[in-house]
Amino acid sequence: MLRAGIVGLPNVGKSTLFNALVANAKADAANFPFCTIEPNVGVVAVPDERLNVLAKISDSQQIVPTRIEFVDIAGLVKGASQGEGLGNQFLANIREVDAIVHVVRCFDDENIIHVSGSVDPGRDIEVINLELALADLAQVERRIERVRKQARANKDAQVELELLQRISAALNEGKSARQVSLTDEEEVTVKPLGLLTKKPIIYAANVAEDDLATGNDWVEEVRQVAKQENAKVVVVSAQVEAELVEIPEEERADYLESLGVEEGGLKSLIGATYELLGLRTYLTTGEKETRAWTINAGMKAPQAAGVIHTDFERGFIRAETVAYEDLVAAGSMAAAREKGLLRSEGKDYVVQEGDVMLFRFNV
C-alpha cells in the first residue's frame, strides 16, 4: 500500500487536514505546537468513479477501491535534525513513507499561533527542507566514513564513495538528493540509506476557504519554490475539508462547485501523488466484485497480474484486455468482444491506465 507522510511546521493544519481526509481518524487538532507526538495513521479509499460504472455493467456484488495510507507526522521545527522537538523520532517516521506531503500555511488567522510568529511560506519550507537535508547529510557522512576504509582495496567501495561524495556536496550546497542525477545502478546503491530529501514531495498549500479556487500570493511563493526542484503543488483548504466531512455525500459536489472547484483535497492529493510516483490503475470486474489495482507505470501484463497473486504471474498465459472507455461504450464485456474491442495480450504488453483486464494462467 502506498504511504504518504504529511509533514510541516506545527500549526500549519496538518492534523486538521489529516482528520478530514481520513474522516474517521482521531488525530488531535489543537492550537499549540507538538499537538501530535505519535504519528497517526489512516487508510483511505482512492476515489475512482469508474468502479461504480463497471459495477453496474457487471452487476457486481461489491466494489473494492485501491487504498492509500496517510501518516500524520508531528510538526518539525528548526533544530529537528539535532533532536529539537523530538525531531529524531519524527524524522525516523518520515523515512518509512513513499512520498512526502509538505503542508505549508498560506492563510492568515490571528487566532491560530504560528510557531515563527508570522506567515511566510518560503521561510517555512526552507526550515523543513534544511532539517531534512541536515539529517541526510549526517546519514551520508556516516556512510562515507565506513566506505572510505573499504575503498582502499575494493573497487565497488571506491565507486560508492565517489557517489556518496557527490550527494554530500549537493546537500552542502543546499540542494536535495532528488536533484542529484543518478543512474539506475546508483539508485539501488543509495536506496538503503532512506534519504529524506530523495523522497518525492508534494507541497500542499493550505489556504482559507475564499482562496481555494484562486490561490493567493503565498501560494505563488510555494509554486516558485517547487518549480526549482520539480516538485508538485496542490492547493487545499483544511477548513473546507473539515466542512465536507459534515456534509452529506450527495451534497458535496454542489458545495465544492459553489467554491469554484471541482474536487476536494483528497482527490487532488492522490492524483498528484500517483502522477509523481509514476503509478497507474487497472481494473477488474465481474459478478463477484469490481476492483482497482495499483501498478507502476511501464509494468507488463505478467507483473500486473502478480499484483493480484504471485501464481498469476508465474503461470501467466495471456490477458484479455479492453480499454475502460471502450467497454462502457459497448455496454458489456460480451458486446466489447463482438465488436473486436476485447484484445488478447501477451507477456510483452505494457498495461495502460484504465485497462479492464482478465488474466488467463496455469496453476
Does residue 40 fall inside a structural domain?
yes
Sheet holding 67-72, edge to edge: 40-45, 67-72, 2-7, 99-105, 201-206, 232-236
Does residue 286 fall inside a structural domain?
no
pLDDT of residue 219: 96
Residues 313, 264 within the same domain: no
CB atoms near residue 37 (< 10 Å): 13
Residues 268, 305 within the same domain: no
Residue 200 has pLDDT above 80, yes or no: yes
pLDDT tens column, 145-179: 999 988 888 888 999 999 999 999 999 998 889 88
Residues near 338 by beta carbon (within 8 Å), at least 6 away in sequence: none
DSSP letters, 17-35, are HHHHHHSS------SSTT-
Q: What percent of the chain has pLDDT over 70?
A: 90
pLDDT of residue 90: 61
Residue 47 has pLDDT above 70, yes or no: yes
Q: Copy the grid coordinates of residue 28.
A: 488531535
Q: How far apart are CA 69 and CA 97, in angstroms?
A: 9
Residues 38, 76 within the same domain: yes
DSSP 3-state helix, strand, coil percentages of the chain (rounded to 5)? 45, 20, 30
Residues 31, 104 within the same domain: yes
pTM score = 0.81
Q: Residue 323: enclosing H or E segment and its boundaries?
A: strand 316-323
pLDDT tens column, 95-137: 888 899 999 999 988 777 676 678 899 999 998 888 888 889 9
Does residue 280 fall inside a structural domain?
no
- Contact present, 306 and 337 (Cβ < 8 Å): no
- Contact present, 30 and 125 (Cβ < 8 Å): no
Does residue 198 fall inside a structural domain?
yes
Residues 123, 12 within the same domain: yes
pLDDT of residue 235: 94
Does residue 289 fall inside a structural domain?
no
Q: How far apart are CA 91 and CA 96, in angstroms?
A: 9
Residues near 263 by beta carbon (within 8 Å), at least 6 away in sequence: 256
Residues 237, 337 within the same domain: no
Does residue 305 fall inside a structural domain?
yes
Residues 203, 304 within the same domain: no
What is the CATH number for 35?
A: 3.40.50.300
pLDDT of residue 137: 92
Residue 269 has pLDDT above 60, yes or no: yes
Number of domains in the chain: 2
Residues 351, 220 within the same domain: no
pLDDT tens column, 61-101: 999 998 888 888 765 555 544 544 444 556 777 788 889 99
Does residue 22 fall inside a structural domain?
yes
- Contact present, 15 and 40 (Cβ < 8 Å): yes
Q: Copy the grid coordinates of residue 184.
A: 539506475
Residues 85, 200 within the same domain: yes
Structural domain for 333, as ranges: 298-361
Residues 257, 324 within the same domain: no
Residues 77, 199 within the same domain: yes
